Structure 1
Amino acid sequence: MSLSPHTTPSGFLLPSIHSAPPFFTQQPNPATQAIVEEQWIRLLLSYARHRKLFTLRVDDSEDKGGEWDEVLRNERINRRIQSAYLSKLIAKLVEKNVAAYDPPRQTRSVLVYWRLPEEWAETLHQWADSTGQMNTILTFYEITDPPVPSPLSNVPLPLLRTAITILAKTNRAQIIAIPDGEGVRFFPSK
């Protein structure tokens, strides 16, 4: 089989390296392995952005038909990434600050930052401004599950909380205790 890009059923364009059997295994040469890891990291982040996926688990390597199956498996060459190798790639994502273990204190599941928390903070603040939510107290639920879909729809709470904390450090948001948990008030930029 020739190395060529391939479009998945979800419309994602896989790079030609995805057709190379060695891509799915750890390489013995450290220089080669570093290049392959960079390719995997780029691929995982762009796929997560394409599908709006926030969580990657070591177990996803075994989940045939799962959310990540199109990228972690290549049926055309009969290859899939093994759990141990995916675990190492997940550790690299965390090391490069493009993912964080979620929940903390375990190493089998990460929150993927296809947008960095700082970018989510800016997106959140722009959304609050464009929807007229400045100086209004909103619940986290109202932000992540709005009546009209937004770029923040389905954002995981740990990522939302991190973005709000970033905004709070620049006096553009404040976390507020409300009867049902936590809320947030946004302030205009100065």
Structure 2
Amino acid sequence: MSFTTHTTRSGFLLPSIHSVPPFFTEQPNPTTQSQNISQWTRLILAYARHRRLFVLRLEDAETSGGDWDEVLRNERINRRVLPSHLSAIMESMITNGQAVYEPPKQTRAVLLYWRLPEEWAEVLHSWATDTANLNTILTFYEITDPPVPSPLSDIPITLLRRVIAVLAKTGRAQVISTGRTGSGEENEGVRFFSGGK
């Protein structure tokens, strides 16, 4: 069998390594395992960016028909990533600042940083500037579900909070409570500033 690239149904180009059966298993040699995890990390983050996926769960390796099937499985060679291998990949991503466990205090799901919070902060601030929303209070909902789709559409609120915190540290954003909802939950918003306050 030749090891070639393959384009998935979603239009993502899988690298030729995805056709190599050992790629899907943990390697006994630490150096080889480190290289394997590094390649998986690049693949997962690139695919997440391509599909705008923010969360990866261990269950994604166990169940078929999900968002991650195109990457975590290769039906052409009858291989899939086992949960133990995916767990090692996720742990490495956490260690290298490419993901965080979400929710915290568990190890079965991660929030992926295919853009780092600092990169998202620049995207968010540019969006606020381009849409003339400086010095205006916007709810988190207005940012994650804008009337016109944006790069921030559907960004998880937990990631949005981290991104806003980056902007707040540089004086370009301020979190504001906008009262309580009918169910008693705190409504939060954010005001953006052009530069440091």
TM-score tier, shorter chain, comes to: over 0.9
Matched AA of 1:87: S
Rounded Cα–Cα distance in structure 2 between residues aligned with 1:86 and 1:18: 15
Counterpart position of 1:171: 171
Matched AA of 1:177: S
Matched AA of 1:127: W
**Where in structure 1 are there 5+ consecutive unaligned residues?**
none
Secondary structure of the 2:76 match is helix
Structure 1 residues 18-73: Cα deviation after superposition (integer angstroms, max 9, x where no partner): 00000000001111111111100000000000000000000000121100000000
Secondary structure of the 1:179 match is strand
RMSD after superposition? 0.7
TM-score by length of 2: 0.95
Q: Which runs of 4+ in 1 moved over 4 A?
A: none
Matched AA of 1:8: T
TM-score by length of 1: 0.99
Rounded Cα–Cα distance in structure 2 between residues aligned with 1:162 and 1:36: 30
Secondary structure of the 1:148 match is coil
Rounded Cα–Cα distance in structure 2 between residues aligned with 1:185 and 1:141: 13
Shift of 1:111: 0.3
Q: How many residues were matched structurally? A: 190
Rounded Cα–Cα distance in structure 1 between residues aligned with 2:2 and 2:156: 39
Counterpart position of 1:55: 55
Counterpart position of 2:150: 150
**Where in structure 2 are there 5+ consecutive unaligned residues?**
181-186
1:187 aligns with 2:193: yes
